């Protein structure tokens, strides 16, 4: 046998082995990429952060929107838990309205994350925490959009049918409040009623998020008629009796209701009245005080809700 030929054969065998290993690695990577592309899941997580709202939305293309930041910095721990490691970007921060139980956690979020844009309700409330929030926006030069009914956010061109429609407030930027001018419940202007109300839709799935809007706004929203119908409702104002009117709930007709509420809060939220109205429309209530973090996963057709507790 020719020894030169043997060496040559050996080299070919080694080359083929190496090629096989490389091809196998490429196949695994390709499979992971493809399976990730097929993983078209929308995630919505209601954080258990005490008496307040903080909801993270992760789109199938990994865009992120944080709706409110809760009454303290617990939101930072939750973001660390639910965003991929080392993530320093949040595409959109939406503040439904400037009350402390929604804005406080967002101050540190804006400082620590690279936020693409901030969406605000038209209300301008004269409080220290909201002033600090606005100051950070200015310092970091973050683009601001004032929400107005009729506007919509479209997420990712490649994904058809993923959009967030803004249903309220009706007019942007014309409401200024100080503590004296703020009224509650049915009388006067209520900062809660400036809440950005939006419907997030993904294929056949929909969730309606109403901030702290009271039944005064819910009544106005009835003009949307059939379009209010949603699979899930983020219940208004932590389950207060002044929100979730029966007529509104009948229009929305949610299969599940998410209540963001702190354990043993001083407001008595959620109210027995609101809970019983949810029962009347056969809506299953999930509560952050009892269930911990509430995670909704949907591919647009099948939806699952997971609770921490």
Residues near Zn ion, by CB under 5 A: 101, 212
Minimal distance, residue 231 CB to Zn ion, in Å? 23
Minimal distance, residue 297 CB to Zn ion, in Å? 25
- How many CB atoms neighbour CB 200 within 10 A? 25
Minimal distance, residue 186 CB to Zn ion, in Å? 18
- CA-to-CA distance for 122 and 193, rounded, in angstroms? 10
Q: Measured from the CB atom, is 71 or 254 closer to Zn ion?
A: 71
Minimal distance, residue 24 CB to Zn ion, in Å? 54
The angle, 0 to 180 degrees and rounded to 10, between the axes of the packed helices 100-112 and 128-139 is 30
Q: Measured from the CB atom, is 201 or 235 closer to Zn ion?
A: 235
User: Which is nearest to 166 in space by CA: 189, 147, 180?
Assistant: 147
Q: Measured from the CB atom, is 42 or 75 closer to Zn ion?
A: 75
Minimal distance, residue 215 CB to Zn ion, in Å? 15
Q: Measured from the CB atom, is 101 or 218 closer to Zn ion?
A: 101
- How many CB atoms neighbour CB 24 within 10 A? 10
Show the DSSP H helices in 158-307 as ranges.
215-221, 246-252, 272-280, 288-291
Q: Measured from the CB atom, is 125 or 162 closer to Zn ion?
A: 125
- CA-to-CA distance for 32 and 226, rounded, in angstroms? 41
How far separated are the first and last CA of the chain, in Å rounded?
A: 73
């Amino acid at each position: 046998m020719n020894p030169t030929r043997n060496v040559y054969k050996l080299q070919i065998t080694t080359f083929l082995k190496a090629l096989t290993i490389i091809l196998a690695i490429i196949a695994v990577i390709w499979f992971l990429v493809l399976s990730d592309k097929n993983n078209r899941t929308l995630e919505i997580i209601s954080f258990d952060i005490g008496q307040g709202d903080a909801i993270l939305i992760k789109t199938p293309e990994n865009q992120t929107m944080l709706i409110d930041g809760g009454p303290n910095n617990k939101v930072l721990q939750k973001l660390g838990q639910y965003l991929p490691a080392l993530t320093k970007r949040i595409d959109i921060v939406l503040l439904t309205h400037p009350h402390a139980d929604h804005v406080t956690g967002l101050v540190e979020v804006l400082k620590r994350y690279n936020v693409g844009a901030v969406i605000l309700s038209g209300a301008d409330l004269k409080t220290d925490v909201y002033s600090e929030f606005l100051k950070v926006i200015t310092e970091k030069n973050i683009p601001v959009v004032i929400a107005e009914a009729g506007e919509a956010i479209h997420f990712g061109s490649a994904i058809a049918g993923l959009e967030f429609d803004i249903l309220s407030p009706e007019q942007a930027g014309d409401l200024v409040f100080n503590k004296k001018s703020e009224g509650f419940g049915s009388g006067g202007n209520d900062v809660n009623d400036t809440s950005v109300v939006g419907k997030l839709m993904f294929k056949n799935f929909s969730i309606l998020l109403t901030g702290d809007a009271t039944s005064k706004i819910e009544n106005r929203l009835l003009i949307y008629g059939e379009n209010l119908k949603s699979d899930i409702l983020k219940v208004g104002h932590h389950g207060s009796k002044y929100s979730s009117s029966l007529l509104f709930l009948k229009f929305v007709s949610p299969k599940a209701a998410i209540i963001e509420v702190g354990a043993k809060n001083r407001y008595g939220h959620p109210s027995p009245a609101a809970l019983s109205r949810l029962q009347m429309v056969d809506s299953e209530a999930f509560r952050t005080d009892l269930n911990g973090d509430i995670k909704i996963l949907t591919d647009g057709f099948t939806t699952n809700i997971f609770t921490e507790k």
